[in-house]
């Protein structure tokens, strides 16, 4: 397996750091922290480059908040300066790992995404009798730092780049505590091993794909499952043979234990596709695609907040328009024409009906 060295000069090159600052501010240009950074842009970038060059760089404190729907998650926002570093690193190392990823992993990859994943999932569901659908329990909080570093070192040997990667991993903020035991553990093992990556970081999303890349290849090449889709920690295997998928589940649990991961005991199920399988906010049947009820309720609440914020002058018409059009684009991937009409006629959008 080829390992790559001499990457750090590319990471700390001023042109790469400048590009990274532009990437990091997309959609956030007018936030106070971004405006402050950009006011002294050249000075800030030169200072950042120096700290990376002499390896005195240290990540700042995270800003954290909880998302409750559809499930409780701790979201961590890194300081803008650190997000520039995340992009600078990923600009150089993502292409190295990207060529090793399989075509059936769709999350956080250029040209892939939720809608392509849903399309492939729907195709497999409508051409298979059974589906084994799994969800990794508390994925981001349980990613093991030692294992992650070992996986990264299989492709990267540049000491300075590894120093930066280790710095980012080791400065991950405290995540949700999950106590899981695996073969060979003693009583203290789960609390002495550093685990968890902050959801929200570009690097965390990328590292999460690296962490399960070997698993993807295991499913495709060792288990010989041709119909497979993964989006972050949600994955599904399809077949006309129930026994094949039942055996695959046992093998999957055994493999994931090597990564110190467990599938969710309730959400991971083997069933007939005609019942309807849920994926990325939609429920896929043989003849139609519906929006999950929980996602629908969440969207209704979001739209009402938009309405209230617009009426109170907190957001402008352009922001409302962007939010509505984005959600419409998502819904169009299901059989949702009547649903879209019902939702928006039930709300008083008289001030901006032309948005829709």
Structure tokens at 162: 């590894």
Residue 151's nearest CA partner among 197, 210, 88 is 210
Residue 101 to residues 172, 216, 230, 313, 339: CA-CA distances in angstroms? 25, 8, 11, 46, 37
Question: Cα(218)–Cα(225) distance, rounded to whole angstroms?
Answer: 9
Residue 199 to residues 137, 149, 172, 232, 338: CA-CA distances in angstroms? 15, 18, 10, 11, 35
Residue 52 to residues 37, 117, 310: CA-CA distances in angstroms? 17, 37, 43
- The maximal CA–CA distance of the chain, rounded, in angstroms, is 64
CB-based contacts of 55: which residues, under 8 Å, 6+ apart? Answer: 160, 163
Point out which residues pair with 284 in neighbouring strands: 277, 289
pLDDT of residue 354: 47
Q: pTM for the complete prediction?
A: 0.84
Question: Cα(92)–Cα(94) distance, rounded to whole angstroms?
Answer: 6
Give the helix/strand (H/E) hosting 135: strand 130-135
Residue 86's nearest CA partner among 15, 163, 142, 24 is 24
pLDDT of residue 351: 45
pLDDT of residue 36: 82
> CA dihedral in degrees (221, 91, 151, 167; nearest 10)?
-160
Half-sphere exposure of residue 37: CA atoms within 13 angstroms, side-chain side: 22
Question: Cα(288)–Cα(176) distance, rounded to whole angstroms?
Answer: 37
Question: Cα(190)–Cα(182) distance, rounded to whole angstroms?
Answer: 9
Residue 94 to residues 89, 98, 194, 331, 350: CA-CA distances in angstroms? 8, 6, 24, 31, 46
**pLDDT of 249-265, one tens digit each?**
999 999 999 999 999 99
**pLDDT of 176-199, one tens digit each?**
888 999 999 999 999 899 999 999
Half-sphere exposure of residue 70: CA atoms within 13 angstroms, side-chain side: 11
**pLDDT of 94-125, one tens digit each?**
999 999 999 999 999 999 988 899 999 999 99
Residue 314 has pLDDT above 80, yes or no: no
Name the pLDDT band for 34 (thresholds 50, 70, 90).
confident
CB-based contacts of 201: which residues, under 8 Å, 6+ apart? Answer: 76, 78, 83, 86, 168
Q: Lowest mean pLDDT: which of 10-14, 24-28, 308-312?
A: 308-312
Range 10-37 average pLDDT: 88
Other residues' Cβ atoms within 10 Å of the Cβ of residue 12:
23
pLDDT of residue 175: 83
Please tell me the chain's helix, strand, coil percentages from 3-state DSSP, rounded to the nearest 5: 50, 15, 35
Q: CA 150 from chain center: how many Å?
A: 21
Q: Dihedral sign, CA of 329, 331, 333, 336?
A: negative
Contact 142, 180 (CB under 8 A): yes
Enumerate the H helices of 99-158 as residue ranges. 114-125, 139-142, 145-153
Point out which residues pair with 66 in neighbouring strands: 74
């Amino acid at each position: 397996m080829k390992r790559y060295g001499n990457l750090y000069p590319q990471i700390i090159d001023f042109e790469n750091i400048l590009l990274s600052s532009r990437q990091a501010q997309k959609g956030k240009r007018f936030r106070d922290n971004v405006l402050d950074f950009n006011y002294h842009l050249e000075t800030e970038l030169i200072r950042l480059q120096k700290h990376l060059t002499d390896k005195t760089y240290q990540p700042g404190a995270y800003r954290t908040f909880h998302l409750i729907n559809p499930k409780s998650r701790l979201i961590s926002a890194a300081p803008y300066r650190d997000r520039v570093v995340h992009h600078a690193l990923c600009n150089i190392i993502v292409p190295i790992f990207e060529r090793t990823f399989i075509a059936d992993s769709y999350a956080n990859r250029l040209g892939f995404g939720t809608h392509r994943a849903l399309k492939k999932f729907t195709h497999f569901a409508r051409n298979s009798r059974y589906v084994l659908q799994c969800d990794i329990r508390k994925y981001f909080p349980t990613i093991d730092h030692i294992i992650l570093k070992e996986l990264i070192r299989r492709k990267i040997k540049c000491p300075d780049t590894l120093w930066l990667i280790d710095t980012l991993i080791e400065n991950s903020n405290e995540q949700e505590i999950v106590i899981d035991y695996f073969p060979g553990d003693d009583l203290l093992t789960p609390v002495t091993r550093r685990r968890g990556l902050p959801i929200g970081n570009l690097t965390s999303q990328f590292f999460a794909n690296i962490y399960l890349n070997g698993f993807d290849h295991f499913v495709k090449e060792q288990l010989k499952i041709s119909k497979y889709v993964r989006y972050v920690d949600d994955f599904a295997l399809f077949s006309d043979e129930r026994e094949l998928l039942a055996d695959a589940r046992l093998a999957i649990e055994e493999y994931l234990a090597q990564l110190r991961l467990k599938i969710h005991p309730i959400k991971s199920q083997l069933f007939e596709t005609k019942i309807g399988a849920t994926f990325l906010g939609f429920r896929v049947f043989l003849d139609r695609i519906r929006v999950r009820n929980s996602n629908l309720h969440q969207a209704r609440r979001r739209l009402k907040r938009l309405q209230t914020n617009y009426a109170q002058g907190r957001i402008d018409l352009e922001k409302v328009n962007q939010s509505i059009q984005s959600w419409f684009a998502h819904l169009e991937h299901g059989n949702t024409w009547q649903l879209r009409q019902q939702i928006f006629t039930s709300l008083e959008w008289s001030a901006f009906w032309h948005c829709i």
